[in-house]
Chains A and B, each alone.
Chain A
Amino acid sequence: MMPTQSQLRLRTVLFWMVPLALLAVPLLVNSYVQFIVNSVLIYALVTLGFNFVIGNLGQLAFANTAFFGIGAYASAIATTSLGLPWLATIPLAGVAGAIGGFLASGAALRGIRFYYLAIITLAFGELMRWLYVHAKSVTGGTDGLSLPRETVMGYSLTDDRVKFYVFLVVTVLLFKATLNLLRSHVGRSIMAVRENEVATASLGIPTSRVIVTGFIWSGFVVGCAGSLFALHTSYVFPESFGMLHLIISFAMVLVGGLGSVLGAVLGAAALTVLPEYLRSFPGMEELFFGLIVIAVLLVLPQGLASLLRRVSPIFVERFYRE
């Protein structure tokens, strides 16, 4: 069932009301919970960017962790080597991630798709990890890079509450931009490619370029998330950008709901909070984590977002602007 006009208006109000309400979070939670909430915001962006490629664009691609690492390293290098303030490195990290997106998807311009593109993007991610380890003079090698302590308008950026406000603004802006992009004619082309590439090409849409554009935007969003991650942990090293991170972000996409912007938040929240909760069961964490993910996907194959869609049409995502 499609949302009515009044429900659409309510949805717009909710989109802005939820972040406004979240402004109170630092006043209500302890520093441990604040750290988890900050992680959720970062992984919401990671999932959003990953979902953009596999859910909205419909391409099987695994360069997400590479974009995340590129963004984190871009931010870390810009602050440590170039002396830029961290805030200024967020767009820089986004651009670096976008360039990564272009490079990872360049093969699509030559007609490489799906499984073949997946392997190329996977190789791209491993290549980047090799670079982080071996370009020691720039990346610090296996020792990684530590970010300098900074303040913004007198507030220390080592304080998780201050970080939260910055992360929240970046997250809301990137979610809004992604929603607008999906509702634009570029977004429609992206989803048309996912549905039927041949039909899309027959409508005069350059499908290879659309695929590369999708990767570039994904790289930008995840690159920005990498920048937030660099500040979040104050330390960037190659092991943070390995296969485990890739698998968890893939699970976040599926648990949240393939192709769903709302699902990106839900998937990231669920799979960031769950492992923390499971720490109460030492030795059984991985087992419970795996079982819960399987159970969610069996009961809700379209992810947690589908649960909300059943509750109210307000959560139905229809990326078309009349």
Chain B
Amino acid sequence: MHDPLMTICDLHVAYGKKPILRGATFDVLPGECLTLLGANGSGKSTSLNAICGFVRPASGSISMDGAELAGLAPHEIFQHGVAQVSQKRDLFPDLTVADNLRLGAMRRGGKAAAQTLEQIYARFPRLAERRNQATRTLSGGEQQMVAIGRALMSGPRLLLLDEPSGGLSPEFCEEIAQLMDGLKSDGVTMLMVEQNLKLAFRAADRFIVLRDGLVVDGGDVKAMEGNHDAIIKNIYL
């Protein structure tokens, strides 16, 4: 068993007086794809936002290789190798695909960035074809590729994906799943929030279920093969 890449311990997050996470505790292992499951309002996206620093935890710990990330500013957390692809994708619509991707490597620059850009184009040939197109002219799936590509430009040690299949056709969901397979085989660690259970079980190695801000279930996806109904019951009932 590997040492965890990230350990989240007794994490409490509240929006105003409303508590969202009430002591969530889980690990992310190196090289795995872990998916967070749960009903709306269970604290899945809040967990990602707290890890990225967009939401300040009230208490608890988020540690990565011994460094405490809780309470740091988003740009400081990014420097520890955590990159997020948000649910809204947060692209720069008037900039070209190439410019959006380069922005992902703003903190690196130079030859390394140019090399990574070529790797991204190799991974997403469709983006290479559209490199000089403004991102607002791309389809939803292509925009998702740009968002993931931009996050990869920073060479993250942990990639956070907030509903990567959101608003995409089943064909594109399959493409995203294949992309995630490729990332896993390249050793990229991923923490994903996904409502599309088919994609979640197709792409993830492990899952955890959040309910009312607490981890109530979890396990190995392969071990649960064919028994997804039990997980669904645990999420929604």
Contacts and interface: CB of A to CB of B under 8 A. Distances in A.
Nearest to A209: B75
Contact of B106 (A2, A195, A196, A203): A203
Contact of B150 (A195, A203, A320): A203
Interface stretch (A145-153, A184-192, A218-226, A309-317): A184-192
A207 B150 CA distance: 18
A188 B103 contact: yes
Given A201-B54, A201-B75, A204-B75, A196 B107 contact: no
Contacts of B107: 203-205
B104 interface: yes
Contacts of B154: 203-204
A243 interface: no
Contact of B78 (A2, A189, A202, A320): A202
A185 B109 contact: yes
Interface centre among B54, B75, B78 (most CB of A within 10 A): B75
B91 to A, nearest CB: 7
Contacts of B103: 188, 192, 203
A199 interface: yes
| Chain A interface, >50% SS class | helix
A199 B54 CA distance: 11
Interface in B31-64: 52-54
Contact of A206 (B52, B75, B94, B95): B75
B99 interface: yes
Contacts of A192: 92, 103, 106
A126 to B, nearest CB: 32
A205 B154 CA distance: 12
Contact of B84 (A196, A202, A206): A202
Interface string A1-42: 010000000000000000000000000000000000000000
A247 interface: no
Contacts of A173: none
A198 interface: yes
B84 A189 contact: no
Q: Among B54, B91, B94, B95, find the residue whose CB has the most chain A CB atoms closer than 10 A.
A: B95
Interface string B80-114: 00011010001111110001000110110100000
A3 to B, nearest CB: 13
B92 A207 contact: no
Interface string A284-299: 0000000000000000
Contacts of A189: 106
Interface in A37-85: none
Contacts of A320: 99
B23 interface: no
A188 B106 contact: yes
Contacts of B93: 195
B79 interface: yes
A99 to B, nearest CB: 25
Contacts of A195: 92-95
Nearest to A210: B75
A199 B75 contact: no
Given A192-B92, A192-B103, A320-B99, A204 B78 contact: yes
Contacts of A202: 52, 54, 74, 78, 83-84, 86, 90
A206 B53 CA distance: 12
Contacts of B104: 203
B92 A196 contact: yes
Given A189-B106, A204-B106, A199 B78 contact: no
Contacts of A185: 106, 109
A195 B94 CA distance: 9
Contacts of A188: 103, 106
Contacts of B91: 196, 199
B73 interface: yes
Nearest to B105: A203
Given A188-B103, A189-B106, A320-B99, A205 B75 contact: yes
Interface in B96-155: 99, 103-104, 106-107, 109, 132, 150, 154
Interface string A250-276: 000000000000000000000000000
A287 B129 CA distance: 53
Nearest to B78: A204
Contacts of B106: 185, 188-189, 192, 203-205
B94 to A, nearest CB: 7
9 contacts: A2-B132, A196-B90, A198-B54, A201-B53, A201-B75, A202-B83, A202-B86, A203-B154, A204-B79
4 smallest beta-carbon distances between A and B, as pairs: A204-B78, A199-B90, A201-B74, A206-B75
Given A195-B94, A206-B73, 16 more contacts: A192-B103, A195-B92, A195-B93, A198-B86, A199-B90, A202-B52, A202-B74, A202-B78, A202-B83, A203-B103, A203-B150, A203-B154, A204-B74, A204-B106, A204-B154, A206-B75
